[in-house]
Amino acid sequence: MTVEPALEAVDLKVSFGAIKALDGVSLRVDAGQILSVIGPNGAGKSSLLNCLSGVYRPHSGRVLFHGRDITALAPHRRAALGVARTFQGIQSYASMTVRQNILAGFHCRMKTGLLDALLYWPRAQREEREFSARAEEIIEFLELEELRHTLVGELGYGLRKRVDLGRALALGPSVLVLDEPMAGMSVEEKADLARFVLDIRAAHNTPVILVEHDMEVVMDISDQVLVMEWGRAIALGAPAEVRIDARVINAYLGAEEP
Amino acid sequence: MLPSGVFFRDFAAEAAYLRTGPQRLALALFVLALVLLPALAGAYLVGVITLMFVTMIAVLGLQITVGMAGMINIGQSAFVGIGAFVSASLASKLGWPFWLTLPAAALAAGVSSLLFGLPALRIKGFYLALTTVAAQIVFPIGIARLPSAWFGGSSGLAVEPVSIFGHALLKQHELYYFNLAFVLLFALLAFNLKRTRVGRALIAVRDNDIAASVLGVNIGYYKLVAFFVGAVFAGVAGALLGYVVSYVTTDHFTLWLSIWYISMLIVGGMGSPLGAIFGTVVITALQESLHALGNAAAARFGSDFGAFIFPATNSVLGVLIIAILVFQPHGLLTGWNTLKAAYRIWPYRHHGG
């Protein structure tokens, strides 16, 4: 394996007071790979993603993007590099329409500055048209055509999660980080979303880091599974290996069985 | 919501402000009415509307800071005041023409707003609102304490009238047209801002700042942009106000005026420049009609009654605003949009958001 990892985290540590949210977690994801992160609530999955996208700065450890150290980079600068992320729960822009949400996702690919925006002269108009067309491609891919002018705040949960994904796709991601994209969805919605994730990978070879509780989905679509407990990684491997790991069964899978 | 049967073949047509023939006709008639108004209305009404235009520019600016970017600014009238004093001083003491005093006033207000907007990088909500009140408190003290050769100190400044090609604008209808041109221009700028990348970034910061930053929006920069642009509008409004009233003192720019600006925005609807326009018109109309009513009552029942009626009109105004907010909590603009949608889908029932 001489391939340079698309995104790599080395020995991340984050603590809140006496609580160690992350206690030396490392991971790497290569082009075309889907890496799932699983673990019980409070295992540190969201803290890990927050370190990757720059919302938290780890107390020690490093985050590398294609070999470049981005540990100290602000979230919006990472986004410009192509680290795109969706969130737990609903974090889309509720007062914008579906298309505006996706256009907002193009933010760091567009150039219109303050003066261009106020004057809305031909340069700004041209860019607006060009990116509207690109937004429509994403809308078509996610099958949201009928809803393009609907306010996102009026959409149901599953659709809003889909808009979240679209907004992240607008970034033209080199790494896609998805935080519980399927939580609270119906079986059909989960199947749709899993299909979208697989399609994205197939189309652009985009590496995906996925935090998800639904074990069936995780085992189905992941190449690698990282299992966390109490801020530590307790197992890493292919789904089939992780499934039979005694520590994992004990910590996570076993705990859920009746 | 568009009338049934209207659709677009390209993004340019879809993005246009005026998308159908009737819309173009309506706007043309509206502008024509504005142009003809001084010929039809009395001098007092023309004066009231001229001042309303100035107020509208300040409220359009406030809509950018408060409405789009979601940062409550209770110091807008201080930025209007900064614009007014800078422009008045440059016009009267250095003899600068309006096309130089207006940009200078805009810039002065914009830059000073950055000072009070800086806390926005760290704090939100009520705490931030309080720092904008600081602008309101510092402003009159600053003007009074600075050398009176600069801004006239506490006694204020007289403003030389606007001069266009050597012709001084002194008549009421001349000032009306002068301000009409600016309010149309700044309304256009506000609408433009909303529908571009910058406007979306401001709304993204309001709707969800963490998500916005992770998706590439430099939230610190856009918070300052929101303050700056909002105050630039205020600065221009201040300069224009100086030319209209021809004398500026700090008494014009009180916390009360800022609160009026905010209430205009809330009553009209925060989400869009159209809300700012609606709110300014409705509140000005209410203020003026109650005032006229109060005057008439005082003339009829004597000045003792007048002492009672004027505070009473303010209470009535307050009750009316509460009533508007009870029945249209998202502002009159929402009601207007609902009405339009209901008309277009008639005879079917309107449902949903």
Radius of gyration of chain A (CA): 19
CA distances to A104, A158, A178, A205, B225 from A193, rounded to whole Å, are 21, 9, 11, 17, 37
Counting one residue from A and one from B, how many pairs have CB atoms under 8 Å apart? 122
**Cα–Cα distance, B341 to B319 (Å, whole number):** 29
Which positions ≥6 away from B256 have C-beta within 8 Å?
none
**Which tokens hold the place of B348?**
């079917």
- Strand runs labelled E in chain A: 7-16, 19-29, 34-38, 60-65, 68-69, 83-85, 175-179, 208-211, 224-229, 232-237
Residue type, B90: L
Give the per-residue pLDDT at A253: 56
Q: Which of A76, A96, A154 to mutate to test the interface with B (most CBs of B within 10 A)?
A: A76
Which 8-state DSSP code applies to residue B247?
E
Instruction: State the residue for tokens 């160690």.
Output: A20
Q: Which residues of chain B have pLDDT under 70?
A: 1, 349-353
> Angle between the B125-145 and B76-93 helix axes, to the nearest 10 degrees?
30
Residue with tokens 């299909």: A195
At A183 the pLDDT is 87
| pLDDT value, residue A46 | 92
pLDDT in tens, chain A (258 residues): 567 899 999 999 999 988 899 999 999 999 999 999 998 888 999 999 999 999 999 999 999 999 999 999 999 999 999 999 999 888 999 999 999 999 999 999 999 999 999 999 999 999 999 999 999 999 999 999 999 999 999 999 989 999 999 999 999 999 999 999 998 889 999 999 999 999 999 999 999 999 998 888 999 999 999 999 999 999 999 999 988 888 888 876 555 444
How many angstroms away from the CA of A108 is the closest CA of chain B? Answer: 6
Place of tokens 């899978």: A253
Question: Is residue A114 exposed (0-12), middle (13-18) or buried (19+ Cβ within 10 Å)?
Answer: middle
The type of residue at A88 is Q
Q: Compute the half-sphere exposure of residue B221: CA atoms within 13 Å on the CB side of its CA.
A: 13
User: CA B212 to CA B32: how far, in whole Å?
Assistant: 42
H or E element that contains B168: strand B167-168
Do B152 and B251 contact (CB within 8 A), yes or no? no
Nearest to B216 among A80, A118, A127 (CB): A80
Element (H, E) at B11: helix B11-15
CB contact under 8 A, A127 and B200: no
Write down the pLDDT at residue B285: 94
Look at the block and give the residue holding tokens 């609160």: B259
Nearest CB neighbour to A107, from listed B11, B197, B353: B197
Cβ neighbours of residue A25 closer than 8 Å, sequence gap 6 or more: A9, A11, A12, A44, A48, A61, A228, A231, A232, A233
> Chain A interface, mutation test: which of B65, B194, B215, B333, most A Cβ atoms within 10 Å?
B215
Q: What's the gap between Cα A93 and its chain centre?
A: 17
Cβ-Cβ contacts under 8 Å, A95 against chain B: 203, 206-207, 271
Q: Which chain A residues are closer than 8 Å to B67 by Cβ?
A: none
Question: Quick one: B260 exposed, middle or buried, by C-beta within 10 A (0-12, 13-18, 19+)?
Answer: buried
- Which residue on chain B is closest to A134 by alpha carbon? B11
Name, in order, each residue with C-beta under 8 angstroms of B308's C-beta and a sequence gap of 6 or more. none
Residue A258 confidence (pLDDT) = 44
Residue B337 CB neighbour total at 10 angstroms:
16
Q: A65's torsion region: left (phi>0), alpha (psi -120 to 50) or beta?
A: beta
* Residue closest to B184 by CA, chosen among B49, B53, B322, B19: B53
**A54–chain B Cβ distance below 8 A for any pair:** yes
ipTM associated with this complex:
0.91
Q: Considering only the beta carbons, identify the residue of A100, A119, A129 that sits closest to B192.
A: A119
The whole-number pLDDT of residue B296 equals 85
**CB-based contact B200 A133, cutoff 8 Å:** no
Contact call for A107 and B204, based on CB within 8 A: yes
Residue-range domains of chain A with CATH: 7-82+173-256 (3.40.50.300)
In whole angstroms, what is the distance from residue A35 CA to residue B344 CA?
50
Cβ atoms within 10 Å, residue A246: 9
Contact (CB<8Å) B210/A55: yes
A contacts of B200 (beta carbons < 8 Å): 96, 100, 103-104, 107
Does any CB of chain A come closer than 8 Å to the CB of residue B219? yes
Q: Which residues fall within 8 angstroms of residue A11, CB to CB, at 6 or more apart?
A: A24, A25, A26, A60, A61, A62
Any A CB within 8 A of B187 CB: no
Given CB atoms, is A93 within the 8 Å cutoff of chain B?
A: yes
Neighbours of B43 (CB within 10 A): 12
CB-based contact, A125 to chain B, within 8 Å: yes
Cis peptide before B273 (omega within 30 of 0): no
Q: Is B44 exposed, middle or buried (0-12, 13-18, 19+ CB in 10 A)?
A: exposed
Predicted local confidence at residue A257, as pLDDT: 47
Residues of A whose CB is below 8 A from B196: 112, 116-117, 120, 124, 128
